[in-house]
A and B are shown apart, each in its own frame.
Chain A
Amino acid sequence: MKVLVPVKRVIDYNVKARVKADQTGVDLANVKMSMNPFCEIAVEEAVRLKEKGVATEIVAVSVGPAQAQETLRTALAMGADRAILIQTDQDLEPLAVAKVLKAVVAEESPELVLMGKQAIDGDNNATGQMLAALLDWPQAAFASEVVVEGGKAKVTREVDGGLQTLDVDLPAVVTADLRLNEPRYASLPNIMKAKKKPLDVKELSSLGVDTAAKLKVLKVTEPPKRSAGVKVETAADLVSNLKTAGVL
């Protein structure tokens, strides 16, 4: 079974994003970038499926600038077999990315697309669901457990209030939640080996996909700051303060 794993290069999750003074966006110059944490979980799950003998080939794909090759090399070092970069300097909306991924699916014919539930920059939580809809495939979003057998995937999903288990026919799109697994670190020998694995770079324009933006960002601003609080000495002080504030 072939598994396609879309991965995204984003600001490192430990970095506090800073808004540009001209309100055009978030300042990404000289900021540490990494693979989106949910994408790491998706790669890890694909590698585990391969180690169980379920998956035969893992293809990592990224849509983004030339630097996204580093992100793909990370996926290769974790255990993906080959990688594809759809290169563009445009910042694409989730629907455009889903359309690009649909074109990649048409070429690669995977039986499973395994991806993160959301990217920590745009926080959209939409691309996987959109891809499933465009392909007319079933989806299992926010997966915390995936069992593939007999042309189906049994997926436990994290939902408000608890867990839900679905049975989806393959091919399907599964999006990974935090608790699906603990991603491995790429070892140095694997990082060296990953440099020799195939990485195809294609220009976005060669796919003939309409990626025009549908949303115009008018401004990006800082959220309102909270005013500085006070430290109290005892629990009794705390309770009297809360009574004064009218929240008890």
Chain B
Amino acid sequence: MAVLVVADHDNSALKDNTHKVVTAALAISGDVDVLVAGTNTAALAGEAAKIAGVRKVLTAESAELGQGLAEAFQDVVAGLMGGYDAVLTPATTQGKNFSPRVAAKLDVAQISDVIEVVDANTFVRPIYAGNALETVQSSDAKKVLTVRPTAFKAAAEGGSASVESVSAPAAPAKSRFVDQQIVKSARPDLGAAKIVVSGGRAMGSAEEFQAVIEPLADKLGAAVGASRAAVDAGYAPNDYQVGQTGKVVAPELYVAIGISGAIQHLAGMKDSKVIVAINKDPDAPIFQVADYGLVADYKAAVPELMSALAAAGK
């Protein structure tokens, strides 16, 4: 059986999510091909071809694919599924956008947010905001999965797959890209960072969030996250949101500052290796999952932490 992985990229660089989903795909089958759909695919395909274990890289190039239009992705992916038994897509907003369309076109179930491949037909996924894990067995001839990248290790480099191009379907007439506003950041990508520093409602303002959370993140070389409360209050942009409805992260170190720890937030970070909580409320639920808890007002604790880090040579 052969498996297709849809690459995650921003038209300029391949994202690490692609490597992680390749690992999940290799657990299903040894024959893993990667589809790079978008613009600038020749360079991206070169990167994908280097992932160890990849058999072949397919490229599909069009402006609509570059803009991420779900209808265009549906057509190209569903069109390739004659030759594949499964398609795996990273559970990013882009993957979540088009993958169910592919499943519906193939008349099969989608298995969303897979965190473990048990065998070629059996998968584990979180439900109820991560409060339960469901093991499902598919009876469909073709499987359509979205994969939670943070649950898998990135496949190594060192492959030398062949590259071939496939035709991109005609432009979808019913939807058009207007524009986008992408938040520019020099910090590591939230989904892939080794350390994440997150702030919550306790920050009180966007200025305070920037003054407290961002310098600490920079000192640690960390990505910045936020709770939904902080995002809704306008303290942080919404793509910082960690949680059931935002991003799911699993860094080595997650530092939650002024975050109470609602179940929707925990769903997005409780698989982090080490969790640190700084909160002045000793009864905050975040302390139930924190490996190290500091009961203190962040206003005093964060500057102390900064100087302790400096003293420790950071």
Interface residues in chain A, defined as those with a beta carbon under 8 Å from any beta carbon in chain B: 11, 13, 16-19, 26, 93-95, 98, 117-118, 120-134, 137-142, 144, 154, 157-169, 172, 177-179, 214-223, 226, 229-236, 238-243, 245, 247-248
**Sample (17) of A-B pairs whose CB atoms are under 8 Å apart:** A11-B128, A95-B108, A118-B245, A131-B104, A158-B93, A158-B239, A166-B175, A167-B175, A179-B231, A214-B108, A214-B139, A215-B137, A218-B135, A219-B134, A221-B132, A226-B291, A229-B275
Distance in angstroms from A56 CB to nearest chain B CB is: 23
B107-149 vs A, Cβ < 8 Å mask (1 yes, 0 no): 1111111000000001001111111111111111000000000
**Min CB distance, A65 to chain B, in Å?**
18
By the criterion CB–CB under 8 Å, are B301 and A235 in contact?
yes
Interface residues of B (CB under 8 A from A): 10, 68-71, 74, 92-94, 96-105, 107-113, 122, 125-140, 172-183, 191, 195, 220, 228, 231-232, 237-239, 244-245, 247, 252-253, 263-264, 270, 273-276, 287, 289-296, 301, 304-305, 307-309, 311-312, 314
Identify the 8 closest CB pairs spanning chains A and B, nearest first. A235-B304, A129-B100, A17-B128, A126-B100, A138-B175, A133-B104, A133-B101, A130-B104
The answer to whether A232 touches B294, judged by C-beta atoms less than 8 angstroms apart, is yes
CB-CB under 8 A for A235 and B101, given A16-B131, A138-B174? no
Q: Give the docked Cα–Cα distance between A199 and B232 (Å).
A: 35
Please indicate the chain B residues that have their CB under 8 angstroms from the CB of A94 in the complex: 100, 109-110
| Cα(A163)–Cα(B177), bound, Å | 12
Describe B's contact surface by its main secondary structure. mixed
- Pair B174/A217 contact, Cβ less than 8 Å: no
CA distance A117 to B97 in the complex (A): 10
Q: How far is the CA of A118 from the CA of B243 in the complex (A)?
A: 14
Q: Cβ of A230 and Cβ of B100 under 8 Å apart?
A: no
